[in-house]
Amino acid sequence: MDIIMMLTYAAIAIACFKIFHLPITKWTVTTTALGGAFLMGWIYICMAFFHPYTPYATIYFQTSPISAQVKGKVVKVFVKDNRPLKKGDPLIQIDPIPFKAQVDQLTAELKLAEKRLNETTELIKMNAGRKYDLERYQQEVKSLEAQLVIAKFNLDSTTIRAPTDGHVTQSRVREGVTAGAFKMSSLMTFVIDEKPYYIAAFKPNAIQNIKTNAEAEVIFTSIPGKTFKAKVTKLWDEIAEGQLTPIGMKMIDFSKTLPPGRIPVRIELTDDISQYYIPGGSSFGVCVYSEHIKFLGDLRRIFLHMFSWMNIISFDEAEK
The three state secondary structure string of 48-59 is: HHHCCEEEEEEE
> Side chain identity at 253, as an amino acid letter?
D
Judged by DSSP in three states, 269 sits in strand
Q: How far is the C-alpha of 146 from the C-alpha of 106, rounded, in Å?
A: 10
Phi, psi of 100 (to 5 degrees): -70, -40
What are the C-alpha distances in Å from 125 to residues 118, 119, 173, 208, 227?
Answer: 11, 10, 59, 82, 86
Q: What is the pLDDT along the chain (320 residues), one digit of tens a residue?
A: 556 666 676 777 777 767 767 677 776 777 777 777 776 777 777 788 888 988 889 899 888 888 888 899 999 999 988 899 999 999 999 999 999 999 999 999 989 988 888 888 877 777 766 777 778 888 888 999 999 999 999 999 999 999 999 999 888 888 888 887 666 678 888 999 888 899 998 888 888 888 889 899 999 988 888 889 999 998 887 777 666 665 555 555 555 566 667 888 999 999 888 899 988 888 898 999 988 888 777 888 888 888 888 877 765 544 43
Nearest to 235 by CA among 273, 268, 261, 260: 268
Phi, psi of 36 (to 5 degrees): -65, -40
Q: What is the largest CA-CA distance in the chain?
A: 130
Report CA torsion sign: 298, 300, 303, 304: negative
Q: Which domains does the chain have, with CATH numbers?
A: 1-50 (no CATH), 51-61+196-313 (2.40.30.170), 63-192 (2.40.50.100)
